[in-house]
A and B are shown apart, each in its own frame.
Chain A
Amino acid sequence: MTDLAVDVLIVGAGGAGMYAALSAASAGAERVLLVDKSFVGRGGATVMAQMTVAAALGEETPDEWSAHLDDTLAAGRGLCDGRLAALLCRDAPVRIREMGEWGTDWARRDNGRIAQVTAPGHSRPRCCYVDFLNTGPAVAATLRRQISRVGAIRRVSNLTVIDLVTAGGEVVGAVALDWEKGEAVTIAAKAVIIATGGLTRIFQRNSASANMGGDGYSLALGAGAELVDMEFVQFFPIGHLAPRLVGLDPIMWDPFRYKLGGRLLDGAGREFLADYGSDESAGYTTPRDLATYAINTEVAAGRGSPHGGVYLSFTHIPKPVLEAAFGPVIDRLAENGIDLGRMPVEVAPIAHYHMGGIAVDDAMVSTVPGLYAAGEAAGGANGANRLSGNAIPEALVFGAVAGRSAATFAAARKPNDWSRHLAAPAIERVRALADGRVGLSSAAVALEELREIMWRDAGPFRDASGLTGALARIGELQTALAEFAVAPGRRANPTLADWFELRASLGAAEAVVRAALARQESRGAHQRTDFPDTDPAWARNQRIRMTAAGAVAVV
């Protein structure tokens, strides 16, 4: 078994984790450990970002970070944490320009200025990008290159942190599963940063990568930390639905709507957004929460497309314009049998981003000493609905702050109270499961069921009866964790990974459902069919934590 000791442990190596590692090292941390259950810098949400990155650069028209903040707060429907939102908007420009200096090839106009487009909810052109659909991969590649140059940063892929270890109410380290060997690894850490991204993988329709199962939220709950805004899951309105499309992310249509508009049509070919108070005659302006609501309402009324969504059509746009906007993507669409000049595609809402997360202050400190969060894993900046383009700046800005804060804390901390016996229960659990276990059902099957439940009962439309049923079934699956089969053979055992993923996803799912059940109103991404109106008395945030008895509860 391996035992490690570090100054700063960073869990999750997407944009937030990688930036936090750079920041911790430059703030003086000498032993920074950056781990990912997938591959460092290749898993998670950052590489999936298709286009927009919001920053008040003022390259196209004059802009101020305070204007970006105004738009962020308006999109958040009254629930944004003002300190976090201000931090995001204030620091976004310096982080985005820095990415350019480090080699991210932002799209530019002929005059050499960075191109910025207007995304829904923004008062002016503010969103920069890397063509074509390459923003995320380019940002991730830039950060991978940067971290590889820093000797203080040690990277480990396929290492899944399964439990945080606390002593005296403070985080002192973690226990991880080394997937390749099927063994526990202990990590004594003076500070831990959770940068595991969100939880969209627990919904059947999603734009998530495999490792967005909500691990970070369960880790934080287990350590006694509070979560905030867990009921607010962003459903991206126009996820690709049909025909089957491989090799392109399902959220790929958004960038082309920024560039070209594109018409949303019901099953009979009629435009419907105006029925919901949104006028798109001047372009793509409908915010994500409203568009999702409109599409789902059309489908529920029997006016959807054959696969249960609506149509997105670019057929009115001249072919040369299409070809210029889509570039090489036209060929990849053709390989999928899609000719945009001749046919619409079907789109529908899919789980895309989690506004909620670990409650932090503007130094990214959680409610538990020694524990920090960054990126999507941190909650609060985006309130009830995230503005397009805020996710990548959030990853970089919060990563920078979290890394600095954690390094400072680690430097001041005396040799902490880590001892191996604190980690013993987690080590023993890995050992017991890794030996294999006969069982009637598998965690892989239960994960599929959880995704169906969450989509049906805690998805874009919710009500008390569905949420109550979901909560009961989540509880049953939590009980059943003691009985699921684990295949023999320690090395690279997928059923062992499934078991820990299911445990983490159930904890995250329970937090979402409990918060959604308690919020008896509709606001932003949280739509209750039994409480359809926004209630001014609910203009407040809910927090969730684990009680002394081990139950997840709204506090």
Chain B
Amino acid sequence: MNAKTARLRIRRGGGEGRAQYQEFSVPFEDGASVLDALLWIRSHLDASLAIRYSCINANVCKECTIAIDGVVNYACTTRLAGDRVMTLEPLPGKMQLRDLVSETRPPRERLR
């Protein structure tokens, strides 16, 4: 095993005011995904970090879509990088509900 450290700069908060970023360091082994790191943060460093995910590994639910270094991608299939800081943000153009969670529900599936 070759343990490395990923540095993730994550946009926090509920979309109001100035953007706030928080950086986390996460140990990982080659091949691990961004979602692996986010789940690790939730159970080891900060349970209040809000993320959307459902199928975890199969890449069928498409819920974990976020902006990774400015590019829209799936957290579950994007590999962690050990040699640089990765910036994670909620989807551009959608309402940020909390941290990396955007309002991505189809309008007909919301309570009103």
List A residues at the B interface (Cβ < 8 Å).
2, 38-40, 42-43, 47-48, 136-137, 148, 155-159, 178, 180-181, 185, 208-211, 243-250, 336-337, 442-445, 447-448, 485, 487, 489, 491-495, 498
Given A2-B111, A246-B79, the answer on whether A39 and B47 have CB atoms closer than 8 Å is no
In this complex, the member of B33, B51, B97, B103 whose beta carbon has the largest number of chain A beta carbons within 10 angstroms is: B97
Chain B positions within 8 Å of A209 at CB level: 54-56, 58, 61
Task: For A182, give the chain B residue with the smallest CB separation.
Answer: B98
* A246/B105 in contact, CB under 8 A: no
* A159/B47 in contact, CB under 8 A: no
Counting from the closest, the 5 A-B pairs by CB-CB distance are: A244-B31, A487-B48, A249-B58, A444-B47, A492-B98
Q: How far is the CA of A39 from the CA of B60 in the complex (A)?
A: 12
Given A39-B109, A244-B29, the answer on whether A137 and B54 have CB atoms closer than 8 Å is no
Residue-wise, chain B 61-87 has the 8 Å CB interface mask toward A (1 for contact) of 111000000000010110100000000
* A156/B109 in contact, CB under 8 A: yes
Task: For B33, give the chain A residue with the smallest CB separation.
Answer: A246
Q: How far is the CA of A181 from the CA of B101 in the complex (A)?
A: 13
* B42/A493 in contact, CB under 8 A: no
Pick the contact of B60 from A48, A442, A445 — CB < 8 Å? A48
Please classify the interface of chain B as helix (H, G, I), strand (E, B), loop, or mixed, using the class held by over half of its residues. loop
Task: For A488, give the chain B residue with the smallest CB separation.
Answer: B48
* B98/A48 in contact, CB under 8 A: no
Q: How far is the CA of A495 from the CA of B99 in the complex (A)?
A: 13
Q: How far is the CA of A452 from the CA of B33 in the complex (A)?
A: 21
Task: For B51, give the chain A residue with the smallest CB separation.
Answer: A494
Give min CB distance, B58 to chain A, whole Å.
Answer: 4
Q: How far is the CA of A241 from the CA of B32 in the complex (A)?
A: 13
Task: For B102, give the chain A residue with the smallest CB separation.
Answer: A492
Chain A positions within 8 Å of B74 at CB level: 247
Given A39-B61, A494-B49, the answer on whether A489 and B55 have CB atoms closer than 8 Å is no
Residue-wise, chain B 12-52 has the 8 Å CB interface mask toward A (1 for contact) of 00100000000000000111110000000011100111110
Give min CB distance, B32 to chain A, whole Å.
Answer: 6
* B97/A492 in contact, CB under 8 A: yes
Chain A positions within 8 Å of B94 at CB level: none
* B61/A42 in contact, CB under 8 A: yes
Chain A positions within 8 Å of B58 at CB level: 47-48, 209, 247-249
In this complex, the member of A2, A245, A249 whose beta carbon has the largest number of chain B beta carbons within 10 angstroms is: A249
Q: How far is the CA of A136 from the CA of B54 in the complex (A)?
A: 15
Q: How far is the CA of A300 from the CA of B60 in the complex (A)?
A: 34
Give min CB distance, B103 to chain A, whole Å.
Answer: 8
* B60/A494 in contact, CB under 8 A: no
Give min CB distance, B78 to chain A, whole Å.
Answer: 8
Give min CB distance, B15 to chain A, whole Å.
Answer: 10
Chain B positions within 8 Å of A491 at CB level: 14, 97-98
Chain A positions within 8 Å of B32 at CB level: 244
Q: How far is the CA of A210 from the CA of B29 in the complex (A)?
A: 22
Chain A positions within 8 Å of B48 at CB level: 487, 489, 493-495
* A156/B110 in contact, CB under 8 A: yes
* A250/B57 in contact, CB under 8 A: yes
